[in-house]
Amino acid sequence: MGDFRDSSVTSMDSTKSSTGSPESSIETDASTKSEEYNKKIVQLSKDELIGDYKVVRRLGAGGCGVVYQVKANGKNYAMKVERTDMDKADQLLGIEAHVLKRLQSSPYAVPFIQYGSCQSKGLGLRVLTMGLLGPSIDELRKQQIKGKFKIGTVLKIGIQAIQAVTFVHCSYFVHRDVKPGNFAIGEDNCKRIYLFDFGLSRAIKKRGDLHLRTMREDIPFRGTSEYCSLNELTTGDLPWMGRSRSKTTILKTKLMDFEYMHGCPVAFSTILNYLRTLDYYKRPDYIGIEQAFFRMMAARESDWNQPMDWEVN
């Protein structure tokens, strides 16, 4: 399409690719990007043409690239870009494209449009074009009264999130940065939840291998340290929010469940305790967890026809 040069979507099991080493790419923690990376954030101008796409506005930037809203043939898309001259350890877009393409049969996956390379102002760029989503769950929560959702909305988010993560795991990937900011509603369907931002993902089995990869020792943390809890959507806060990773770890170790799960359904604690029994090689009971959420909905006489909180507020 347009002036893009199609790039082969990165294989997460290969040792070399046009985006560098998949292993080194995935092993980068988004929260510890170097100053050099920050200097290389791609700045596209409004109305600039990238292939057939016209830049509308910048949507955001994070550890896995800069995202713009773009338009082509009267339709809006999301475009994530990274520079080709970035350090190999910071090159995550090829991995994200690979995972996203593999997940296209999931109803919770962002539509994959195109992955390739192009030039902008003399700079080489890698470009991933996807369907455009609406606001993230984190943004929607902050817009609510008292900064939290009603339990009916939380449960419906939870069921879709469980189904989305289950599909990822059954496709032999782990997301490694599951949090409210990486789920968003559809642009046209505000009841559907989508999981996105797969730059930190990892394949959990080698190509053609029926067995999981052997668990590694002494690996650095991946993801966002604040978001390792069920209750943030329900209570609107976490005791460790805004603290350093080391202080977060200390707080999580010392706090009792009832201290930070106050206001959450009792079943949340049951699910949390079950998850704590799992190790790397144990398959979670996805169906059982999902059914627990459905039971909580039934107990509160909540159903899918009732509007989500963001539909009425």
Q: In whole angstroms, how large is the CA radius of gyration of the chain?
A: 20
CA dihedral 4, 9, 10, 16 (to 10 degrees): -60
- Helix extents (H) in 147-198: 151-170
- Helix extents (H) in 5-127: 22-26, 35-39, 93-102
Please pick, among 177, 188, 285, 303, the residue that the annotation labels catalytic: 177
Closest CA to 99 of 224, 195, 1: 195
Strands 173-174 and 202-203: antiparallel
- Tell me if residue 177 is catalytic: yes
**CA separation, residue 66 to residues 30, 44, 82, 84, 300 (Å):** 13, 10, 7, 13, 41
Catalytic residues: 177
